[in-house]
Homo-oligomer: A and B are copies of this chain.
Amino acid sequence: MLVLLDQTRLPAEEVELVCTDAPALVEAIRSLAVRGAPLLGIAGAYGVALAAVRGFDVEEAAAALEGARPTAVNLSVGVRRARAAHRAALAATGEPRQAAEAALAAARALHQEDAEASARMAEHGLALLDELLPGGGHRILTHCNTGSLVSGGEGTAFAVALAAHRAGRLRRLWVDETRPLLQGARLTAYEAARSGMAYTLLTDNAAGSLFAAGEVDAVLIGADRIAADGSVANKVGSYPLAVLARYHHVPFIVVAPVTTVDPDTPDGASIEVEQRPGHEVTEVTAPQVPVTGIGGGTPVAPLGTQAYNPAFDVTPPELVTAIVTEEGVVSPVTAEILAQVCARPAPGDDRLTA
């Protein structure tokens, strides 16, 4: 079985969610109980291993897991890696049990690699911050949740902020609440508080005031999928931050492992953006609130109100100052430099520039 921290219950409660088969994990992924690009990859790989260990149809489980959420490429990468290990072992040995062991080993390896990738992204990201903003005292704005809750290690963008905090060079972490599901308020604030960081929560639309007041030195976000041209799909609300950052000449930095880069997606227009249910917008759901609405929340809009609720938006490469990966920093963001960094077999130089 697979035991996950149910992220929908945070910060009010730390509840473990037990998945005994792949369909339960698919449901956990769809409901965002488990979420965040790197963690989705790890969960997908473990899900395939789980199906194999329990003797279910591995190919069927892999297909269901891969389709649970369309935008995050890491999910697909993790599922395929465990499935490939399973297929190879099955072909070589003909033993389902050995094939299941191979799938589990692949999931564990991915988990471990992700932790190591986090540490390297944090290192590269902090070096970049120090280069772009000499003197420290960084005031960093972040969106959504990118810390240890979504990673085998300390995360992506959050790991960089945490490294700055540990080095005594983080003045403030500005945390966008991240509507509609409030991952910033519920999860990033929780992780920042646990880490002893100086943080302040704000509504997503208050970020403009911070930029205008000169209170933001850099924006750091994660990514759910990066196209071959450097277009970045991330939590809805990232693109407006990129436009604000450009208007105010503030660096806009994306932190993501190379597995987030999908060479099969040529550009931003090719990225499929998941549309989520309207009730996430038309109803407010808070922990332990009695249920009355269609989605189990309390209505905050007239009944029958139609909602536009894309889960992600796409930021074009020209608005991205740098993409920080575990293999180095891509800056400026071009298809060529991105491909070069992603092609590295092992950690190489800190940075490639054109």
| Shortest CB distance A222–B (Å) | 15
Chain B CB within 10 A, most for which of A201, A281, A287, A302: A302
Q: List B contacts of A193 (CB < 8 A).
A: 302, 304-305
CA distance A278 to B175 in the complex (A): 13
Contact B287 A298 (CB under 8 A): yes
Distance from A274 Cβ to chain B, minimum over Cβ atoms (Å):
12
Give Cα A174–Cα B290 distance, bound, in whole angstroms: 30
Which one of A111-119, A156-164, A204-212, A337-345 contacts B?
A: A204-212
Which A positions have Cβ atoms within 8 angstroms of B? Answer: 11-12, 174, 176-180, 182, 185-186, 189-190, 193, 199-210, 212, 236-237, 239-240, 243-244, 246-247, 273, 278, 281-282, 284, 286-290, 297-302, 304-310, 313-314
* Nearest-neighbor residue (CB-CB) of A210 within chain B: B308
Residues in chain B near residue A199, CB distance under 8 A: 305-306
Complex CA gap A197/B244 in Å reads 31
Closest-by-CB residue of B relative to A215 is B308
Copies in the complex: 2
Q: Judging by beta carbons under 8 Å apart, are A306 and B240 in contact?
A: no
Chain B residues within 8 Å of A298, by CB: 286-289
In the bound complex, what is the Cα–Cα distance between A271 and B329 (angstroms)? 41
- Chain B residues lying within 8 Å of A309, measured Cβ to Cβ, are 202-203, 206
Q: A273–B309 Cα gap in the complex (Å)?
A: 30
Check if A306 sits within 8 Å of B200, measured CB to CB.
Answer: yes
Contact in complex: B237, A205 (CB < 8 Å): yes
Instruction: Add 17 more A-B contacts to A180-B203, A190-B301 (CB < 8 A).
Output: A11-B301, A179-B204, A185-B300, A186-B300, A193-B302, A201-B305, A202-B309, A203-B237, A204-B204, A206-B309, A208-B239, A208-B240, A208-B243, A209-B313, A210-B308, A243-B244, A247-B247
3 shortest interchain CB distances as A-B pairs: A205-B237, A208-B240, A286-B298
Docked pose: A189 CA to B193 CA in angstroms:
36
Residue ID in chain B nearest A205 by CB atoms: B237
Q: How far does the alpha carbon of A12 sit from the alpha carbon of B293 in the complex, in Å?
A: 12
Interface contact A286-B308, CB-CB below 8 Å: no
Measured between beta carbons, the chain B residues less than 8 angstroms from A287 are 298
Interface contact A308-B201, CB-CB below 8 Å: yes
- Identify which of B11, B200, B246, B306 contacts A201 (C-beta below 8 A): B306
Query: Which B residues are in CB contact (< 8 Å) with A189?
Result: 301-302, 305
- Specify which chain B residues have a CB less than 8 angstroms from the CB of A286 in the assembled complex: 284, 286, 289, 297-300
Is the pair B190, A205 in contact by a Cβ cutoff of 8 Å?
A: no
CA distance A181 to B50 in the complex (A): 44
| Sample of 28 A–B contacts (CB below 8 Å) | A176-B205, A177-B281, A177-B301, A179-B205, A182-B300, A185-B281, A185-B282, A190-B302, A199-B306, A201-B308, A203-B204, A203-B237, A203-B281, A205-B205, A205-B237, A205-B240, A206-B309, A208-B236, A209-B273, A210-B308, A212-B239, A247-B247, A284-B284, A286-B298, A286-B299, A286-B300, A288-B298, A289-B290
A317 to chain B, nearest CB (A): 14
Cα–Cα distance between A300 and B297 once the two chains are bound (Å) = 14
